Amino acid sequence: MAGNVLEFTTQNFPKEVLESPQVVMVDFWAPWCGPCRMLAPTIDELATQYAGKIRVGKLNTDDHPDIASEYGISGIPTVLVFKDGQIVDKLIGMQQKAKLESSIQSHL
């Protein structure tokens, strides 16, 4: 993971995402997924751009299928935005940075 991008796992997801006082953007991805790899630099940029304002991280669906299943992730990449432990936005597939920024801004 790049500098400001967190790595979410089955073990830390409740504390790092659901109990976070900040808005959290979670990128559900897998190493074999081409669009996921294409989205990664944008996720890295957003993590740096919004450092201290929101938390940005990735969850590998191959390594943590239980969390992916719990949130109904059927296609990747999928980006979920959480606020106060609840999903407030869901973006499926490759996204433009502007669309992700708009989602972040609307929940700050």
Could you list the active site residues? 33, 36
**3-class secondary-structure state, position 75:** coil
Instruction: Specify whether the CB–CB gap between 95 and 39 falls below 8 A.
Output: yes
What is the C-alpha separation between 3 and 35, in angstroms, rounded? 21
What is the C-alpha separation between 106 and 9, in angstroms, rounded? 26
**3-class secondary-structure state, position 70:** helix
